[in-house]
Amino acid sequence: KRPAGAPDKSLARPVTKVGVVGAGLMASQLALLFLRRLEVPVVLTDIDQERVDKGVGYVHAEIEKLLGKGRINQDKANRLKALVTGVLDKAEGFSDADFVIEAVFEEIGVKQQVFAEVEAVAPAHAILATNTSSLSVTEMASKLKHPERVVGFHFFNPVAVLPLLEIVRGEQTDDASLATAFGVARKLKKTAVLVKDAPAFVVNRILTRFMGEIQNIIDEGTPVETAEKAIEPLGLPMSPLVLLELVGPAIGLHVSETLNRAFPDRFTVSGNLAAVVKAGKRGFYVYDSGKPELDP
């Protein structure tokens, strides 16, 4: 059944090569997913060789894990490894890519710049997708010559496990680009939903209310341990503060800042969370002994 709001799939264009801008936490997971499900060349780029190598290294290591678990055979592992490459030069990497997804720093100016650079080197038909957590897809596309090919493609961490994908239609996104995005989502075996181009879309808007309230409770003086214990009966798949570590506190902070700007009556920015990010910490816990312990 066609997802609500998805255009006719006959409009979808084929995707035979994928570009990923960024090689960090989300980007490298995305590279692995596209590689595994589409089995087409996937090329990663980042701002320096070290990051690029780290991203490709992650993909190779995950392929080895899949092999070790018997999910793929040796032939497939070799094939997948040969299909993933990392380059510094976007022109070299993206000149024949049909679908380029960015997962770089959550800052509108940075993302606009990345898209301008990609547009300058990618084919005219290439889809430019963004994994932004909270920023406006319309605004990200606004400076391009062809804003109609920009779509939001928002995944959830861990990407390999969580089935949901929020697809965002910008004001100028055309039907062929959207149909291509839904076609790719189907091949990725994700459950795609079309969401409005509103701050933080749907999931992060709800999650941030929830996480924000826990932060507020902690900011008001309730110990972290008590807050975590008290919500255990809700039966969440993992503790919200461990989830914050999985997602990355800086991302959590960016999303809450975006939402605070958009809806100041409903969203706050936690002082404790801002302090965690400023101190460059992983989260509210330390793992010195190997087990999570509250950061004193």
Can you tell me the distance from the alpha carbon of 130 to that of 22, in angstroms, rounded to the nearest whole number? Answer: 11
- In angstroms, give the least distance from the CB of 269 to ligand 3HC: 15
Hey, which residues between 106 and 145 contact ligand 3HC (CB under 6 A)? Answer: 133
- In angstroms, give the least distance from the CB of 150 to ligand 3HC: 18
Active site (annotated) includes residue 154: yes
Selection from 249, 286, 248 nearest residue 271 by Cα: 249
| Burial of 217 from C-beta contacts in 10 A (0-12 / 13-18 / 19+) | middle
- In angstroms, give the least distance from the CB of 71 to ligand 3HC: 7
- In angstroms, give the least distance from the CB of 283 to ligand 3HC: 14
How many residues at the interface with ligand 3HC, by CB under 6 A?
A: 15
Q: Does 70 bind ligand 3HC (CB under 6 A)?
A: no
Given the complex with ligand 3HC, which of 115 and 156 has the nearer CB atom? 156
Q: Can you say how many angstroms the Cα of residue 104 is from the centroid of all Cα atoms in its chain?
A: 9
Tell me the CA distances in angstroms from 107 to 31, 62, 110, 134, one per residue in order: 21, 29, 5, 10
3-state helix, strand, coil in the chain (%, to 5): 50, 15, 40
Can you tell me the distance from the alpha carbon of 29 to that of 93, in angstroms, rounded to the nearest whole number? Answer: 18
Tell me the CA distances in angstroms from 70 to 29, 65, 77, 80, 188, one per residue in order: 20, 9, 11, 15, 20
Specify the length of the chain in residues. Answer: 296
Q: How many CB atoms lie within 10 A of CB 139?
A: 14
Near ligand 3HC by CB under 6 A: residue from 144, 181, 207, 211:
207
Can you tell me the distance from the alpha carbon of 45 to that of 85, in angstroms, rounded to the nearest whole number? Answer: 9
- In angstroms, give the least distance from the CB of 159 to ligand 3HC: 7
Stretch that binds ligand 3HC, among 1-9, 13-21, 152-160, 215-223 (CB under 6 A): 152-160
Given the complex with ligand 3HC, which of 243 and 286 has the nearer CB atom? 243
As given in the structure block, the two tokens for residue 252 are 């959590």
Given the complex with ligand 3HC, which of 26 and 122 has the nearer CB atom? 26
Hey, which residues between 213 and 252 contact ligand 3HC (CB under 6 A)? Answer: 237-238, 243, 246-247, 251
Given the complex with ligand 3HC, which of 3 and 158 has the nearer CB atom? 158
Given the complex with ligand 3HC, which of 11 and 274 has the nearer CB atom? 274
Can you tell me the distance from the alpha carbon of 98 to that of 246, in angstroms, rounded to the nearest whole number? Answer: 30
Pick the catalytic residue from 60, 125, 154, 254. Answer: 154
Can you tell me the distance from the alpha carbon of 277 to that of 2, in angstroms, rounded to the nearest whole number? Answer: 41
x-or-dash string of contact with ligand 3HC, 158-177, rule CB under 6 A: x-xxx---------------
Which parts of this chain interact with ligand 3HC (CB under 6 A)? 133, 156-158, 160-162, 204, 207, 237-238, 243, 246-247, 251
> Looking at the annotation, which residues are catalytic?
154
